Chains A and B, each alone.
Chain A
Amino acid sequence: MNALLQTHQLQLALPAHTATNTLDWSIQRGECWGILGPNGAGKTTLLHCLAGLRPPRQGELLLQGQPLQRLSVRQRALQLGLLFQQQQDEFPATVLETALIGRHPHLSLWQNESPTDLALAQQALQRLDLLPLAERRIQTLSGGERQRLALATLLTQDPQLLLLDEPTNHLDLHHQISVLELIQSEVQQGKAAVMALHDLNLAARYCSHLLLLYPDGQACWGEKDIMLHLPALETLYQQPLLLFQAEGQSIFIPRSTNG
């Protein structure tokens, strides 16, 4: 069976990535990957590279067995969707209009959005508790609402592989959980997700697999239970950690560094 996305001898084009090892990684349907790493390690670059938005220094990406470079941007957008860390909102627009642009790759040049597309956008807004705000202007949203709207746009796009750059940014506790459960339910329907996360506990709870990315470009990846290895995580973040178990979950707490 073909992996949804596969990397062959991939190296990111980052000056700090001096390690010579390469990434030969494959993402299967039904897997939810977390990318863990300190600031500046290249998590965002890796996600952009997987989405085909940035060329790698070397290596190849295969989307369902086909080289990503040979697919048109529209074909890629039907399979791969990316939640950006920041949204650019220079022009006024409403919440519903913003969700609806997710349908763009599904429509041909002369096609307009159909009632079905509109219904999909509204459904996505509903799933993120944004439907009451549908007619609001995006400039009036709070940071957390804007982040959920970006997720709703991604759900409207309905890609097979969801690439998410810090999906819990700006979200309150309740929405952190509901958004990650939403992603989990998408994955259970046969899609896959790769997300950059900073919260070890959320990663431990919602990811099935983890990839640890070090600042020099070294990486190791595998199933969650193997990867949640305390010394490895302490080395990754240069931060001593405490590990607790509660209700069958691993809970990581950073220790104070002042002695």
Chain B
Amino acid sequence: MPNQLYRRLPLLLLAALLALIGGLLLGSVPLSPLTIWAVLIGEGNPLERMLILELRLPRVLAAFATGGLLAVAGALMQVLLRNPLADPYVLGLSGGAAVAALLAMLAGLGILWVSSAAFVGALFSTLLVFGLAHGSGSWTPTRLLLTGVVIAAGWGALISFLLAVAPSSELPGMLYWLMGDLAHARTALLPWLALLAVLLILLPLGRHLNVLARGSLQAAALGVPVRRMEWLIYGLAALLTAVAVTVAGSIGFVGLIVPHLMRLLLGHDHRLLLPASALGGGTLLVVADTLARILIAPQQLPVGVITALLGVPVFLLLLHRSRTL
């Protein structure tokens, strides 16, 4: 539906740019816009160059892409499960990733292995939930949701077990990973590629998602190939979440609240909602990560703490004001 809501998209873009610039300027050592400009056009002293090009820029870009991945994955999961309270982790994906990542940490493996383990764990959990939900009966959103919730509870128990038996020297690293942390994000390339690829795939399917949100029978009656769409959504959401978890551990709330914030701002059309969620999620995570870096500088907080601290009151406010949830 071409309408006036599309005009709000440039505002989101502007907010995203401001957040990115803010993320570059602020930190334990604040920089001036002039310094950043100098470095970006290839001047500036080596220390500033290193600080910006090797530390802040990759981290800010990784934060943006990760936030975008989580928000889009959340919007997809909400349609797939026809449940507005679904988030990217609701089907136990982050639990699987966490167990694998923590095992890698306990084995004393490097950060690259921990990330790879998280990715494999996330995909394993996805396949496990999907296989079990398929079961002998029919494949319904409720069945998928219940299977995912139970598998997530199982992963939760395993995580507690690993934390209980871990040597105390490993605990801070493990806890930071569990709360979501961008300090180890080395490359922004993978999350950006994943985000752009998935948005491109979904761009022509926004109207299908709108119809699917009305229930699978209604969607089938209106000519949506429901089963194929649901597999696609599930696969894409799982891939997005797996990449996000690989980059930054399990960061909560972005995937739940950003799609809802965007619905309030822009309405219910997924052709608009998905790109807006990518922008909004990216902006939110860059802001949260910047706060995580400066609040108790020079120490850093795990970004998941900030997104939750921002997310809980915002979401409660939304819930309080909403008459439809």
Could you list which residues of chain A lie within 8 angstroms of chain B, going by C-beta atoms? 48, 51, 53, 72-78, 80-82, 84, 87-94, 97-98, 100-102, 104-105, 107, 109-110, 112-113, 118, 137, 139-140, 157
Contacts and interface: CB of A to CB of B under 8 A. Distances in A.
Given A90-B84, A92-B268, A77 B221 contact: yes
Interface in B279-301: none
B109 interface: no
Contacts of A98: 214
A101 B210 contact: yes
Given A92-B324, A112-B1, A102 B222 contact: yes
A228 B167 CA distance: 82
B229 to A, nearest CB: 10
B223 A73 contact: yes
B263 A92 contact: yes
A96 B31 CA distance: 50
A82 B218 CA distance: 8
A104 B268 contact: no
Contacts, number: 87
A139 B218 contact: no
Interface of B: 1-2, 78, 82-84, 204-205, 207-208, 210-211, 213-215, 217-218, 220-226, 263, 267-269, 271, 323-324
A97 B217 contact: no
A139 B213 CA distance: 14
A102 to B, nearest CB: 7
Given A92-B263, A97-B1, A105 B83 contact: no
Contact of A91 (B2, B213, B222, B223): B213
Q: Which of B208, B214, B222, B226 has the most CB of A within 10 A?
A: B222
Contacts of A139: 323-324
B263 A73 contact: no
Q: Which of A77, A80, A104 has the most CB of B within 10 A?
A: A104
Nearest to A159: B221
B135 to A, nearest CB: 19
B237 to A, nearest CB: 17
A29 to B, nearest CB: 21
Nearest to A137: B324
Given A53-B221, A92-B324, 9 more contacts: A73-B226, A80-B221, A88-B215, A97-B1, A104-B207, A105-B222, A112-B271, A137-B323, A140-B323
A82 B82 contact: no
Contacts of A112: 1-2, 207, 271
B210 to A, nearest CB: 6
Nearest 5 CB-CB pairs, A to B? Answer: A77-B223, A88-B215, A105-B223, A74-B223, A109-B204
A195 to B, nearest CB: 15
11 contacts: A84-B218, A87-B218, A91-B78, A91-B84, A94-B268, A100-B1, A105-B222, A105-B223, A113-B1, A137-B323, A140-B323
A107 B224 contact: no
B277 to A, nearest CB: 14
A73 B82 contact: no
Nearest to B325: A92
A105 to B, nearest CB: 4
A244 B17 CA distance: 76
Contacts of B215: 87-88, 90
B217 A84 contact: yes
A107 B207 contact: yes
B83 A51 contact: no
Q: Which of B205, B224, B269, B324 has the most CB of A within 10 A?
A: B324
Contacts of A82: 221
B87 to A, nearest CB: 15
A104 B222 contact: yes
A116 to B, nearest CB: 13
B79 to A, nearest CB: 8
